[in-house]
A and B are shown apart, each in its own frame.
Chain A
Amino acid sequence: MALDRWIALAFVALCCVYGYAAFFTMDDQLPPILRRNPVWPSTFPKILTILGIVVGLVVLLTSKPKAESDAAKDGAIDLNRLGDYHIGQALALLGLMVAYALTLRPLGFVGSTIAFLVVGAVILGERRFHILIPVTAVAAGSIWYLVQEVLGIFLRPWPGIFM
């Protein structure tokens, strides 16, 4: 089965879960006074559920194979040659983003940003540390200054124990 049909199937499943919440659980919490209204908080989600299931089934049942659809766009990723692409690097960078999200507060902005930029570049094959580290340090410092001092949005620069 083509990827777009799998996605359509997942979408229909999502609509069923969404619809179950809209049709069967949401109205229980509604105060009696609001029950007299012609429109409830669940009305719009109920309509969306029905539309979603219909459209999802249309995509699922009528979707054309890739060869018949539009010609591949320039630079687009061809799923049949997925092994030729740098999937490992992409996954490593995604993991690095999750690590950044988890370390941003405990490590502080400057430390976690320098680590993120350096490790990210190393994952992509950069080995010139004498350029990489100064560039990332200057970038992290100046962005922190811009955000905290110019825009006035609080960003803790150092680990919690130093502040």
Chain B
Amino acid sequence: MLEGILVGLTAAVTPFNLIMVVMGCVIGTLIGMLPGLGPMSIIAIMIPVAIGIGDPTAALILLSGVYYGAIFGGSTSSILLNAPGVAGTVATSFDGYPMARKGQAGKALTIAAIASFAGGTIGAILLMIFAPALSTVALLFHSAEYFALMVVGLSAIAAFAGTGQVAKALMMTILGLMLGTVGEGALSNMPRFTFGMMDLQSGFSFITLAMAMFALPEALFLVMNPARAASGSSDDSGKITGMRITRSEARTIAPVVGRQSLQGFFIGVLPGAGATIASFLGYAVERNIAKGAEQEEFGKGSIKGLAAPETANNAACTGSFVPLLTLGIPGSGTTAILLGALLALNVTPGPRLMTDTPEVFWAVIISMYLGNLVLLILNLPLIPYIAKILTIPRTFLIPFILFFTLMGSYLGQNNSTELLILVGFGVVATILRFADFPLAPLLIGFILGTMLENNFARAMQLYRGFDFILERPMTMGLLALAVILVVLPSYRGYRARKRAEGVADGD
């Protein structure tokens, strides 16, 4: 491990890569602060820039920096405006905004920054311990197990989608897998589902799809519902003062940070759970174990209530890198976009990443420490100035968001047809959002589709048919787990509904 850390340090601590960390964190914070633009959209917009850099290490360092910056920026808008830019920072606004209302905005931002830093750093240490161990186990997997593992991952993402949402999430996953089959397949060079159109020969571009699924609907929602973007209407950002915290406050939040770093990390590792669940769960757990007056304080500006979700969401972000880096299976929409970016840079994440390109693997982990450090020492003093971005009027902001969305998609392919595909998918995605269909499973399905099919085909060829399911117990076990993951929440929902109907009848 020590050797790896040294490799990572040498790769990450070059002047160019350090600039990338700083640039990523600043850009992420700036854009993440804008209400409505989440880390997924920001990373998708940044991908052409990252690919333009060419060096996978520098590109991934930049994108990770953007990711952390966006989460940090999201908490800033949660605290200052009660307008979370990201779902993962909604819980931050529960206590962060009341603190800002009491005139403690500076203190709230400092606590959020310290909690994020601690969560991210402890998460990175845990990642360093668990990822290599999991990689060693993953090396024993064959294509049959990989296929089954991806099926488990996709099912888990659907299963964690929420009550009554499992079937919808599964539908979106299958739609994503279907979109992934468009174009020339890996099995043969036969074009599939292109309907004779040359532009579809190489399939849909994942950047276009990512933009269409996240950035475009969000921008359209901002247009349709101005209440969604509180930007331009508040002058709170000018009043950030008193950023110091006292020693007793630090002592109060220390145990919260410790607990939530661990809990958040492990929730982040689970596919589909991610930063949002980690932050809500972290908040709920801390509120339940707090005693008397402290518990009363939650929701009214408790520093514990602010530190808990902030630590947990950052630790979960780091945790979500575990399945990506060790198995090559993204557990969240954001890591799915990162996977797409890595594939575009000719790096295949998975158990062999550590042996084939150790500098990429370790540089990413080291850059996480650096990123957290940059956020703490660079962004914290700059926050009062960066927060001025919240005063940009939406009449300027929205055309620029739309323009960056178009550019992100255009630069990936250098083709105007891509822009029309983007608008088409964007409209479909907006309609899907209206009906509350989750869109992350679609993108994860799309990105995993090719890998899933390749591993499936390899297993089929090796065993001359579907026998691989019966002959490999682990494959069968994993597929059974996938079925349980999908069926169990639906069955429990069905039982609960029946029971509720029974009560209603009795009345």
Interface positions of A (Cβ within 8 A of B): 2-4, 7-8, 11, 14-15, 18, 21, 26, 29-30, 34, 37-45, 48, 51-52, 55-56, 58-59, 62-64, 69-70, 74-75, 77, 79, 85-87, 89-90, 93-94, 97-98, 100-102, 104-105, 113, 116-117, 120-121, 124-126, 132, 135, 139, 143, 147, 150-154
Contact = CB atoms under 8 A, between A and B. Distances in A.
Given A39-B461, A77-B434, A153-B411, 20 more contacts: A3-B431, A3-B435, A26-B190, A29-B190, A38-B460, A39-B456, A39-B457, A41-B192, A44-B456, A59-B167, A79-B434, A85-B224, A85-B225, A90-B220, A94-B426, A100-B419, A105-B416, A126-B396, A147-B407, A153-B48
Contacts of A26: 190, 192
Interface in B237-258: none
A97 to B, nearest CB: 5
Contacts of B464: 38
A56 B171 contact: yes
Nearest to A64: B164
Contacts of A101: 406, 416-417, 419-420, 423
B400 A86 contact: no
A137 B162 CA distance: 46
Interface in B366-420: 393-396, 398-400, 402-403, 406-407, 410-411, 414, 416-417, 419-420
Interface residues of B, number: 67
Contact of B398 (A51, A120, A135, A154): A120
Given A97-B423, A101-B419, A117-B399, A75 B228 contact: yes
Contacts of A126: 393, 395-396
Given A38-B464, A39-B461, A51 B174 contact: yes
Contacts of A38: 460-461, 464-465
Interface string B46-70: 0011001000000000000000000
Contacts of A15: 178
A89 B435 contact: no
Interface string B71-92: 0000000000001000000100
A91 B459 CA distance: 47
Interface of B: 48-49, 52, 83, 90, 162-164, 167-168, 170-171, 174-175, 177-178, 181, 185, 187-188, 190, 192-193, 220-221, 223-228, 393-396, 398-400, 402-403, 406-407, 410-411, 414, 416-417, 419-420, 422-423, 426-427, 431-437, 453, 456-457, 460-461, 464-465
Indicate the member of B225, B228, B414 with the most A CB atoms within 10 Å. B225
A105 to B, nearest CB: 6
Nearest to B401: A120
Nearest to B497: A64
B193 A18 contact: yes
28 contacts: A2-B435, A4-B437, A7-B431, A7-B437, A37-B461, A40-B187, A45-B192, A48-B177, A52-B178, A56-B171, A58-B167, A69-B164, A74-B90, A85-B225, A86-B225, A86-B226, A90-B224, A93-B220, A93-B398, A97-B422, A98-B423, A101-B419, A105-B416, A116-B406, A120-B402, A121-B396, A124-B398, A153-B411
A87 B221 CA distance: 9
- Interface of chain A, main secondary structure: helix
Contacts of B414: 153-154
Contacts of A69: 164, 436
Given A8-B171, A102-B416, A121-B395, A87 B224 contact: yes
B435 A4 contact: yes
A98 to B, nearest CB: 6
A59 B171 contact: yes
A4 B438 CA distance: 12
Contact of B419 (A97, A125, A139): A97
Contacts of A63: 167-168
Nearest to B398: A124
B253 to A, nearest CB: 26
B178 A48 contact: yes
A8 B169 CA distance: 12
A135 B396 contact: yes
Nearest to A53: B174
Closest 4 CB pairs of A and B: A120-B399, A101-B419, A151-B52, A126-B395
A59 B188 contact: no
Contact of A55 (B171, B393, B396, B419): B171
Contacts of B175: 11, 14, 52
A51 B172 CA distance: 12
B167 A113 contact: no
B94 to A, nearest CB: 12
Contacts of A117: 399-400, 403
Nearest to A139: B400
Which of the listed residues B48, B52, B399, B460 has the most CB atoms from chain A within 10 Å of its own CB? B399
